Structure 1
């Protein structure tokens, strides 16, 4: 007994006519008869009562028709789902990303994935800088978007976007534009900055900015979370240097002043990972420039 024999049986059970069923199944009437007879012999069950004029299901045939229709539908669904997984159209993609792009690039990235692969499950997570590549190597995530250039063996990396740094101040702060910034005024500010991570190219950009301005910042608060830094600035506890993509978060009471210093964004993934879901998403993200 095979699936094709069951399909023949279900087709005949619906039509109750050998000639019509054979035509729809693209086989001869005699071949259909042999297939049905073979199925009955294997099962040891009569499935149809038939004479020269009529074909009708036996009680056993009615029972198997009901059960096999359900089972075959489920089996077809499983086969279709397996094909989608094979093609990278179904499954799960786990993406880690920095908080700074939660309201800017991530909605655009997710919209692209959802439009192209509606059956794909997407999990978005945020991971501490020190854990990013460990999570990637241990398969806890499939790809990570970072502001740091990758130096880890076995990890591929591609730049996908460039932001600018911005100085973030309370709305009532005297800074109105980049022209208001000077060495003399900056040294009087209390800064709230991200935690300085050794080996972080993003951290180096911030501190390189201060060096280029010949300023040693008065940093009295550090936080790894940009949303926390924004809340502290709004409270009047200091000013901050953050990516200007935070402007897309709803941040009333704040002013973002864009600075002429760039910070790049990279996607990173395992070089030996040939998961079709991952490869499809990578191609999709890089298919055209991202826009906030």
Structure 2
């Protein structure tokens, strides 16, 4: 059955007058009569009784009326939901993220998304940058929040946060009272680093920073998460260079000291497939940028 015919049928059933029904439908009366006969022929049932006194529904017409209204309501609902998904106001987003994004505005961005788009569902998967890229390419993720990494040709990217590395020291470390330190002062320290297997870019970036200051670091531990890095520092297992955002983790017995001079920054990027695209990617991107620029997410002045 065509939805158009059902719409004509319901209108006539409500008006019980061909002239008034045709006026509501913005058509002339003959096409309405033809449409009703076409529907009756298709169903092999008489839907209306017509006589000199007017029009009334038959038993078959009464039965169809309730079902036709349901079908038309479902059709309108499906159309509206489709428009909402296309416009990014509702739907489903599969988001990959690295652990440090939890201290770089992601919770605030998700909260804003929930307030402005309560019909959106976000499923989250924590994974390293390389695993997330595979998830995008294999259509298992719609969006990824990753560390600095070169995206493949079919993947779009946008910088969300760029912030300095800072020295992460145990609270009782001799350098912990300094307002800023020279990286070379850590040359005799045992370094705790991100694993080269999990994030070769970050591992190499920090290693190169040390080499640029005249020493090859003694790497004591390699771990998979930034939170594990600073946890080991708090336990006195060594020192580290971490993104400034990690000071927000709130672990005890830690001090974060800015580094003197200019150094490469720690970056977090959003990545997504160019096609097929998910409109919710742009919606969450706007929330991420707003969270990164809000006063609550800016770095303390001492770390600039």
- 1:176 and 2:208 are equivalent in the alignment: no
Whether the aligned pair in 1 keeps the contact of 2:145 and 2:268 (CA below 8 Å) is yes
Distance 1:264 1:230 in 2: 18
Structure 1 length as normaliser, TM-score?
0.81
The residue that corresponds to 2:279 in the other structure is: 277
Distance 1:179 1:33, change over 3 A: closer
Once the two structures are TM-superposed, the CA of residue 150 in structure 1 deviates from its matched residue by 0.3
Provide, for residues 151-207 of structure 1, a one-character-per-residue CA deviation record: whole Å limited to 9, x for no partner.
Answer: 6454443433211112223444440334355745x2453332211249833222211
Alignment of 1:256-275 (within 5 A): 256-259=256-259, 261=263, 262-271=265-274, 273-275=275-277
Number of paired residues?
A: 290
What is the Cα deviation at residue 52 of structure 1? 3.7
CA distance in 1, matches of 2:77, 2:254: 52
Post-superposition Cα deviations, 1:74-104, rounded to whole Å, max 9, x if no partner, equal 2222233334444555543323222111132
Q: Which residue in 2 is equivalent to 1:157?
A: 157
Q: Quick one: distance in 1 between partners of 2:223 and 2:198?
A: 15
Whether 1:33 aligns to 2:36 is: no
Matched, 1:23 2:26: no
Cα distance in structure 1, aligned partners of 2:22 and 2:154: 57
SS at match of 2:140: coil
Q: CA deviation at 1:227?
A: 1.9
Q: Which residue of 2 aligns with 1:134?
A: 134
Partner in structure 2 of residue 82 of structure 1: 82
CA separation in 2, counterparts of 1:65 and 1:189? 81
In the alignment, structure 1 residue 248 sits paired with structure 2 residue 251: no
The question of whether the paired residues in 2 share the 8 Å contact of 1:93 and 1:277 is answered with no
Q: Within 5 Å, which residues of 2 pair with 1:53-132?
A: 53-87=53-87, 89-111=89-111, 113-114=113-114, 118-132=118-132
Asked if the contact 1:113/1:284 (under 8 Å) is kept, the reply is no
5+ residue gaps, structure 2, are 298-304
2:103 aligned counterpart, secondary structure: coil
Q: Is the 8 A contact 1:88 1:275 kept in 2?
A: no
TM-score normalised by L of structure 2: 0.78
State the shift of 1:288 in Å. 7.1
1:110 Cα offset (Å) = 3.3
Alpha-carbon distance change, 35 to 171 in structure 1, aligned in 2, over 3 angstroms: same
Cα distance change on mapping 1:244 and 1:281 into 2, 3 Å: same
CA distance, structure 2, for counterparts of residue 250 and residue 129 of structure 1: 24
> Residue 203 of structure 1 corresponds to which residue in structure 2?
203
Distance 1:78 1:65 in 2: 20
String of CA shifts for 1:81-134, please: whole Å, max 9, x gaps.
334444555543323222111132323443565566554432322223443433
Q: How far apart in 2 are the matches of 1:104 and 1:160?
A: 9
Judge which range, 149-158 or 136-145, deviates more: 149-158
